Structure 1
């Protein structure tokens, strides 16, 4: 299998080692230049130095051809965004590392994330099993927390029609993570404009959800 690992920390490093030994083709994306050089020396894998949450970096890693994208950085929020973007760009499956925040199962299903990895419960060998077996998801262990995904339908009267997705001003901890048009997820590009009938998914929290609702109800 062709596997991309976003994040070259401890979890990403040992997972790459296990996947190499299992004869998978591995590409590791690491943002820190010095760490990327170190990984290049230690691993039998292609190492891309860049930000995995950027389209150009994922494309450089070959995301459109990957069988599995593993989002294994140390940030839950970054991993979710990487997974969404990877799915939009053509990754067949995405596995996402979640650490500090408890999310509900519905959130991951809405975002198209196939499987969830808990470092406290899944060591590198278990991750390798998840790569091989699509039926292992980890969803059963999720509980609802303070983070949620809210879906907004854009009607004909919305003031957001014609606005670029990246120009919509949201509270600091909230982000538009996906736009569904005609039943298909649109790949985020600079200047992608909101149209009537679009469904917009926003990652937010309990403190900001009312402000977000006000923005989309105008």
Structure 2
């Protein structure tokens, strides 16, 4: 697996180091030459010097040989722009970081279904800890052939949850509506723009991707 990152902030470096520990190839695109020189002594990654939002620079990262492009910079707008350019250049998968919910919706409408909201994820863990619960990584709970699939509901999904056309061994776990969390029994029906979280088996992912083809890969998590 080969992963490319735009920028070199703390989130990029933490993720890159974990991938390197697993023997993955990592490329970091960074505009600051001095920063590259310092990082090259710290981590065993490849580097591309330049602005990661420019097509010519992204081409130097070899989109045809890269499995995923992570756009994890601080600016939502920059991450979305870089993700769109990366997708147009042929990166197999682009993952932009988006912190503002309004940009999350825009990213989904633009087809950037793999966008992530790390701030919300951390906040949810902290809230759980404050309530006396333990903060668990999802990967420590979802094991074996189990997988998580996320979809952004459209008009065709409007209606009772039980009417959602799902393959076997697939269930709705929860949904988010206007950034609020609901369990299935707490809502009467799915509405457009609801984020619906499904649990399924890995074998069913192709059927889900075909059923909800607007999401090329969904937001999936397969246990290692």
TM-score normalised by structure 1 residue count = 0.55
Measured after TM superposition, the shift of residue 50 of structure 1 is 0.8
Look up the match of 1:14.
14
| Cα shift at 1:58 | 0.4
DSSP 3-state at the match of 2:90: coil
Partner of 1:58: 58
Counterpart CA distance in 2 for 1:134 and 1:68 is 19
Seen in structure 2, the aligned counterparts of structure 1 residues 141 and 59 have a Cα distance that, compared at 3 Å, is: farther
Name the CA shift for 1:110/1:30 in 2 (closer, same or farther; >3 Å): same
* 1:79 and 2:79 matched: yes
Task: Check 1:15–1:9 CA distance in 2 against 1; reply closer, same or farther (3 A cut).
Answer: same
The residue that corresponds to 2:116 in the other structure is 117
* SS of equivalent to 1:103: helix
Preserved CA contact (<8 Å) 2:98 2:104: no
Does 2:16 match 1:33? no
2:104/2:115 contact within 8 Å kept = no
- 8 Å CA contact 1:28, 1:48 repeated in 2: yes
Instruction: Find the counterpart in structure 2 of residue 177 from structure 1.
Output: none
Q: For 2:48 and 2:28, locate their aligned partners in 1 and report how far apart those are by CA, in whole Å.
A: 6
Report whether the alignment pairs 1:107 with 2:84.
no
What is the Cα deviation at residue 109 of structure 1?
Answer: 3.1
1:128: Cα distance to partner?
A: 9.6
Within 5 Å, which residues of 2 pair with 1:1-218?
1-99=1-99, 101-103=100-102, 106-122=105-121, 143=178
Q: 1:3 to 1:48 in 2, by over 3 A?
A: same
Q: CA RMSD in A?
A: 3.2
Q: Which runs of 4+ in 1 moved over 4 A?
A: 126-129, 133-144
- For residues 27 and 89 of structure 2, what CA distance do their matches in structure 1 show? 16
Cα 1:142/1:51, change in 2 over 3 Å: farther
- Most deviating of 105-114 and 47-56: 105-114
Q: Which runs of 5+ in 1 are unaligned?
A: 145-218
Looking at structure 1, the residues matched to 14 and 102 of structure 2 have their Cα atoms a distance apart, in angstroms, of 26
Shift in Å, 1:121: 4.2
- Of structures 1 and 2, the larger Rg is shown by 2
Deviates more, 1:7-16 or 1:104-113: 104-113
CA distance in 2: counterparts of 1:45 and 1:82, whole angstroms: 21
**SS of residue paired to 1:81:** helix
Question: How far apart are residue 108 of structure 1 and its match?
Answer: 2.2
Tell me how far 1:97 sits from its aligned partner.
0.7
More helix, by proportion: 2
Structure 1 equivalent of residue 159 of structure 2: none
